[in-house]
Amino acid sequence: MVLAVLPLAGCDDDSVSYQPVYADQPVAAERTLILGIHPLHNPETLYATYQPLVDYLNAHLGGPKLQLEASRSYPAFEEKLYARRFEFALPNPMQIAKATAEFGYHAFAKQNDDSQFCGIILVRRDSGIRTVADLKGKTISYPAPTALAATMLPQDFLRQNGIDLHRDISSVYVGSQESSILSVLLGQVAAGATWPPPWLKYQKEHPEQAAQLEVKWRTRSLPHNAFVARDDVAPELIAKFKEALLSVEATEEGRAILARIPSSGFVAADDSIYLPVRDYVRWFTANIRRPEDP
């Protein structure tokens, strides 16, 4: 399988403006189907994390092959999702709510572990930060303005705990979950927001560095990420995709794949699960900021 690892120079594929594509007939069986996953990690880490799942799905679909496509940023992923570039996608819940309401996608299987879809705020253990008020006058890092769990939920948490996001702190958006963690480790910021999966992965891969950090605060949770399908994909193909996802935890191979994400498995889902997310985004927009604005 080929991952769309995007170059660092200005000729990045994500700079292309995609146009919506609407079809009257189901996707042809011989086509390669693009699976887009929102930037949970940088492209290299995303590939290492999700390509084994893509290989597993391809072994069970019995027809067209999925091709994993990474995006260099949240705006780049959203541009492609809302232009209907992907036949299948794994967006975050806010992106799911918009894609299902406006762009002809439908949720069919969501990741379990809703308790893990929350924000966490990291500090260095030697930082001296004990209370939320200690963050006043400091700089906090986030991966991206539209990262629901890793940015929006932490900003909501800070506001509820007496922080004026525009006057009391400085906010920097560093482009990825890993960068937000590293910004704290290197002392470039006083605190950094992310969410549990990249933090767990970082702890596993860099235990000595992770030991210098601690999760100081944890936010409320929302429904987890879900796979969505474009409305011109053949229903029988979606059914096979869903069946494979729901059974992945039943085998040792599948559990090893899930451990990479990490996840305990997938459950059936539909668009209605994300209606509360739509309401939350409306509230966030009215009370904090527009998600697309820093």
Q: How many residues does the chain have?
A: 294
Compute the mean pLDDT over every residue in the chain, rounded to the nearest whole number: 89
Q: Residue 237: enclosing H or E segment and its boundaries?
A: helix 235-247
Quick one: pLDDT at residue 24? 43
Q: Report long-range pairs for 246-255 (Cβ below 8 Å, ≥24 apart).
A: 246/109, 248/53, 248/56, 253/56, 254/56
Reduced to 3 states, what is the DSSP secondary structure of residue 274? helix
Distance, in Å, from the CA atom of 271 to the CA atom of 105, rounded to the nearest integer, reads: 9
Distance, in Å, from the CA atom of 21 to the CA atom of 34, rounded to the nearest integer, reads: 13
Tell me the average pLDDT across 14-30. Answer: 42
Pair of tokens at residue 17: 């403006």
Q: Which of 54, 45, 34 is nearest to 5 (CA)?
A: 45
Residue 2: pLDDT over 70: no
Q: Are 39 and 173 in contact (CB under 8 A)?
A: no
Reduced to 3 states, what is the DSSP secondary structure of residue 141? strand
For 229-267, the pLDDT digits (tens) are 999 999 999 999 999 999 999 999 999 999 998 899 999
For 177-195, the pLDDT digits (tens) are 999 999 999 999 999 999 9
For 34-90, the pLDDT digits (tens) are 999 998 888 888 999 999 999 999 999 888 999 999 998 888 999 999 999 999 999
Residue 1: pLDDT over 50: no
Sign of CA dihedral 214, 219, 223, 227: negative
Quick one: pLDDT at residue 30? 56
Quick one: pLDDT at residue 10? 34
Q: Which of 216, 35, 67, 239 is nearest to 138 (CA)?
A: 216
Going along the chain from its start, the domains and CATH numbers come out as 13-114+223-287 (3.40.190.10), 118-221 (3.40.190.10)
